[in-house]
């Protein structure tokens, strides 16, 4: 069990670290997919099997493909090789995050109670229990999430297509032809 944890943790840290250091954006997306799958394994290790399945379906399945499509639709994947990958003043950002990790997060974690009252695989949670609580006390939240997903879908379509065409139609003057290329 602990070997599996360390293996998955290594894969996750490796995937996330590669994703923020690689120059090629497509390679970064594939390494972040590695990170997502390692996290799905960690969820399985914590006996949250439904969340692991959702992680695979939603993140590896759709978010990764969405990112690849966005890369294909925008620009060259490597960028200008003469410019650095990092933005200006990136040293300060990195130092601030290291200070946050070492000064705030790890001391707080070390103060929490470490020993678990429930040993691994002592209980048997299931998808059935999750479905039951989702139907009885949390039904309103489920409806709100459905509404949010619908609004997000419509908003994404409008932001990706509709708004820019309306913008173009507004900025083109009346006396010039609408489509100069035709």
| Subset of residues 148 to 167 that bind another protein, contact rule: CB under 8 A | 148-149, 152-153, 155-157, 159-160, 163-164, 167
Q: Does 30 bind another protein (CB under 8 A)?
A: no
Q: Does 147 bind another protein (CB under 8 A)?
A: no
Q: Does 140 bind another protein (CB under 8 A)?
A: no
The backbone torsions φ and ψ at residue 121, rounded to the nearest 5 degrees and listed phi first, read: 55, 30
Contact 29, 83 (CB under 8 A): no
| Subset of residues 106 to 125 that bind another protein, contact rule: CB under 8 A | 106, 109-110, 112-120, 123, 125
Q: Is 51 helix (H, G, I), strand (E, B) or coil?
A: helix
Q: Largest Cα–Cα distance of the chain, in whole Å?
A: 76
- Name the minimum Å distance from CB 161 to another protein: 9
Q: Which C-beta is closer to another protein: that of 116 or that of 175?
A: 116
Report how far Cα 87 is from the mean position of its chain's Cα atoms. 21
- Name the minimum Å distance from CB 173 to another protein: 15
| Subset of residues 45 to 64 that bind another protein, contact rule: CB under 8 A | 45-48, 50-51, 54-55, 58-59, 62-63
User: Which of 69, 143, 166, 172 contacts another protein by CB under 8 A?
Assistant: 69
Q: How far is residue 10's CA from residue 82's CA, in Å, rounded to a whole number?
A: 32
List Cβ neighbours of 65 (8 Å cut-off, separation of 6 or more). Answer: none
| Subset of residues 3 to 22 that bind another protein, contact rule: CB under 8 A | 5, 9, 12-13, 16-17, 19-20
Q: Does 181 bind another protein (CB under 8 A)?
A: no
- Name the minimum Å distance from CB 179 to another protein: 16
- Name the minimum Å distance from CB 117 to another protein: 6
C-alpha to C-alpha distances, 125 to 5, 51, 157, nearest whole angstrom:
20, 12, 38
CB atoms within 10 A of CB 41: 19
Q: How far is residue 139's CA from residue 132's CA, in Å, rounded to a whole number?
A: 10
């Amino acid at each position: 069990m602990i070997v599996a944890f360390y293996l998955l943790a290594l894969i996750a840290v490796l995937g996330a670290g590669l994703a923020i250091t690689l120059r090629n954006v497509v390679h970064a997306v594939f390494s972040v997919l590695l990170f997502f799958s390692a996290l799905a394994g960690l969820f399985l290790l914590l006996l949250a099997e439904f969340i692991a399945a959702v992680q695979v379906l939603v993140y590896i399945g759709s978010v990764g493909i969405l990112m690849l499509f966005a890369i294909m639709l925008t620009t060259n994947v490597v960028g200008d090789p003469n410019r650095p990958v990092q933005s200006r003043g990136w040293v300060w950002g990195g130092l601030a995050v290291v200070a946050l990790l070492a000064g705030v997060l790890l001391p707080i974690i070390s103060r929490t109670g470490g020993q678990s009252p429930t040993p691994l695989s002592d209980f048997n949670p299931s998808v059935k229990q999750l479905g039951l609580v989702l139907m009885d006390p949390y039904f309103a939240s489920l409806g709100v999430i459905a509404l949010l997903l619908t609004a997000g879908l419509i908003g994404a379509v409008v932001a990706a297509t509709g708004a820019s065409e309306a913008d173009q139609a507004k900025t083109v003057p009346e006396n010039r032809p609408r489509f100069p290329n035709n």
